[in-house]
Amino acid sequence: MPLNPPIRDWRGRRVWLLGASSGIGAALAHALARQGAHLALSARRAEALDAVAQACAPAEVMTLALDVRDAAAVAAAEQAIVARWGGYDVVVLLAGHYQPRTVDEFELAAAREVLAVNIDGAYHLLAAVLPRLLAAGTGALVLVSSVAGYRGLPRSLVYGPSKAALNNLAEALHLELHARGIGVTLVNPGFVRTPLTAGNPFPMPALIEPEEAAERIVAGLARGAFEIHFPKRFTGVLKALALLPASLYLPLVRWLTR
């Protein structure tokens, strides 16, 4: 049985994508536009958003430039969407910040920047949309996280824990919202070619393009899945590793990433 109401028909469905100016967010916007969704696109860079919106024509698209670290800006964007459409059906949080850091490179200010986007941004969104979703008794929340949240990894002192928190949050939300008619989906990608991963100084196994990531997300939502993870030739290995006790996991990961 699906854990969420399957979403198979996107025609006329009102979708708010946060983090839509590039990478997976832009690719998902293009994919949903082709299927007839109405799109509200948010990100910090207004010019990049406008370019994505133009590429989504002739779909109905509105752009709302904002920084998810600004709770008031997120709330104002939510109000603008309601003023135009009367509400929304699917909210997808793709906005995220990534900085690979070792213990030698740790800086508190940089850590707080990652946490402000990846964790505070999620709660700013929830504060804006939960009351309306609960009142409607329908809709869907999609949180895009990362397989880096499964277990601890090298060079991931801040990013990994922030994604682990998002994974936990998605499960907590699902447990409370399922009976209220609201779907909650967690997306855990592996390595995707995006501006955030372009600076990685290490090989990225099973690297895929944003368009493939968008296809996997759309397919997972059509199944009513709770967790959508890809590519499975990579994420399946990480899921298996995550089941190991620390006595096996830590030495093995030290050896694999030496």
Q: Which positions are annotated as active-site residues?
A: 159
Comparing 52-56, 151-155, 203-207, the range with the smallest average pLDDT is: 203-207
Contacts of 36 (CB under 8 A, 6+ apart): 10, 11, 12, 13, 59
204: pLDDT strictly greater than 90: no
Residue 6 domain flag = no
* ∠ CA 34-13-11, rounded to 5°: 45
Mean pLDDT of 160-172: 97
Peptide bond into 58 cis (omega under 30): yes
* pLDDT tens digit sequence for 177-197: 999 999 999 999 998 888 777
User: What per-residue confidence (pLDDT) applies to 206?
Assistant: 86
Angstrom distance (rounded) from CA 38 to CA 69: 25
Residue 2 domain flag = no
Residue 8 domain flag = no
Residue 115 domain flag = yes
Starting at the edge strand that comes first in sequence, how are the strands of the sheet with 38-43 ordered?
Answer: 61-65, 38-43, 14-18, 90-93, 140-144, 183-189, 227-230
Query: What is the three-class DSSP state of 194?
Result: coil
Angstrom distance (rounded) from CA 223 to CA 185: 11
Residue 123 domain flag = yes
Contact of 95 with 89, CB cutoff 8 Å: no
89: pLDDT strictly greater than 80: yes
Smallest CA-to-CA distance from 140 within 87, 202, 70, 207 is with 87
Q: How high does pLDDT run on average in the chain?
A: 95
Domain ranges, residue 215: 14-256
Which two tokens mark 44?
């910090």
Query: What is the three-class DSSP state of 8?
Result: coil
Angstrom distance (rounded) from CA 147 to CA 163: 8
Residue showing tokens 């979708």: 15
User: What per-residue confidence (pLDDT) applies to 203?
Assistant: 76
User: What per-residue confidence (pLDDT) applies to 99?
Assistant: 84
* pLDDT tens digit sequence for 94-112: 999 988 888 999 999 999 9
Angstrom distance (rounded) from CA 19 to CA 181: 25
Residue 217 domain flag = yes
% the chain with pLDDT above 90 = 89
Mean pLDDT of 165-172: 98
Contact of 52 with 29, CB cutoff 8 Å: yes
Contact of 63 with 50, CB cutoff 8 Å: yes
Residue 53 domain flag = yes
pTM for the model: 0.95
Q: Which residues pair with 137 in a beta bridge?
A: none
Instruction: Report how many domains make up the chain.
Output: 1
Contact of 88 with 77, CB cutoff 8 Å: no
How long a stretch of residues is the chain?
Answer: 258
* pLDDT tens digit sequence for 119-142: 999 999 999 999 999 999 999 999
Residue 7 domain flag = no
Mean pLDDT of 69-89: 98
User: What per-residue confidence (pLDDT) applies to 140?
Assistant: 98
Contacts of 237 (CB under 8 A, 6+ apart): none
Angstrom distance (rounded) from CA 22 to CA 246: 37
How far out from the chain centre does Cα 7 lie?
Answer: 17
CATH number at residue 158: 3.40.50.720
